[in-house]
Amino acid sequence: MFDFGKRLKSIRLSRNLTQKQLAEAIGSSERGIQNYELGASKPKYEIIIALADYFDISTDYLLGRSDNPKRI
């Protein structure tokens, strides 16, 4: 099964961002990012869109529906 938290953490680390930096960039909380990465909570669609926009990736890639991060 797909692990959203793992994918999010991998993308974040590949950009050399802390959880706090990412949270500030998308208007979320550091605790929220921690919970998403740990799988303790699932993000609302507004957060998914904000993450995809911030990282310039497709929501399908972020959600594990595609292995291609490019937006179409």
pLDDT value, residue 65: 93
Measured CA to CA, the distance from residue 16 to residue 13 in angstroms comes to: 5
The 10s digit of each residue's pLDDT in 7-44 is 999 999 999 999 999 999 999 999 999 999 999 999 99
Calculate helix-pair angle for 30-38, 19-26, nearest 10 degrees: 110
Position 72 pLDDT exceeds 80: no
Tell me the average pLDDT across 37-66: 96
Please report which confidence band the pLDDT of residue 71 belongs to, taking 50, 70 and 90 as the band edges.
Answer: confident
Domain ranges for the chain? 4-63
Measured CA to CA, the distance from residue 49 to residue 55 in angstroms comes to: 10
pLDDT value, residue 68: 86
pLDDT value, residue 1: 66
Q: Are 14 and 7 contacting, i.e. CB atoms less than 8 angstroms apart? A: no
Measured CA to CA, the distance from residue 72 to residue 9 in angstroms comes to: 23
Q: For residue 67, give every residue at least 6 positions away whose Cβ sits within 8 Å of its Cβ, in sequence order, or none.
A: 61
Domain at 4-63, CATH from 1.10.260.40, 3.40.50.970, 3.20.20.70, 1.10.10.10 = 1.10.260.40
